Amino acid sequence: MNKPFVSIVMLVRYSPYFGRAIESILRTSSIEDIEVLVKIDSDEDISPYINVLKRSELSYKILVYERGEGSNDLHLFWLDLFRLAKGDFIFMFSDDMIMQSCGWVEKLREVLNRFEDEIVVCTFSKPCKRNGKRSTKRGSMCPVISRK
């Protein structure tokens, strides 16, 4: 495999949405552009995650760790994923996210080319309704970090 453009890194714990997230990545991008790195707790059955990733044909790595001190150790898990990532950019992805727009990798390239330091925070939003009326948009922030 050639060097991926984007390394998607995820921390998962008993995630019912993992398969849906991976399927959305497959539907909206080319597998040559992507690698996926996942951290899973050792007290969890990893076979569902492995099955999803094998079926996807994406390049992937799975790190299995003791849960440790939970959220107090998150920075350590992220750092280990970052160290293993091979992509030009690291995308901190949530296992309950869904990529909806085809061509997001190309859009990401386009946006990153506008910034000399190539560091941006992407916000993915969707409209929501309150009391039957369209309200303000809400979204989640997902840092995209340059390897440079």
Phi, psi dihedrals of residue 114, rounded to the nearest 5°: -80, -15
Beta bridge mates, 7: 35, 90
> Taking 70 as the threshold, does the pLDDT of residue 30 lie above it?
yes
Place of tokens 């890194």: 9
Note the pLDDT tens digit of each residue in 55-95. Answer: 999 999 999 988 877 777 888 888 999 999 998 888 888 88
Q: Are 124 and 144 within 8 A, CB to CB?
A: no
pLDDT at 2 exceeding the cut of 70: no
> 22-31, 73-82, 122-131: which has the minimum mean pLDDT?
122-131
What one-character-per-residue DSSP string does 20-80 give? HHHHHHHHHS-GGGEEEEEEEETTS--HHHHHHHHHHT-EEEEEEE--TTGGGGHHHHHHH
Output the CA–CA distances (angstroms, integers) from residue 32 to 6, 68, 85, in the order listed.
10, 34, 15
What's this model's pTM, rounded to 2 decimal places? 0.80
Which tokens is 36 given? 């996926």
Sign of the Cα torsion 110, 116, 121, 123 reads: negative
The residues, any chain, with a CB within 8 Å of residue 11's CB and separated by 6 or more, are 38, 39, 74, 77, 78, 81, 95
Q: What are the pLDDT digits (tens) for 132-143?
A: 555 444 555 566
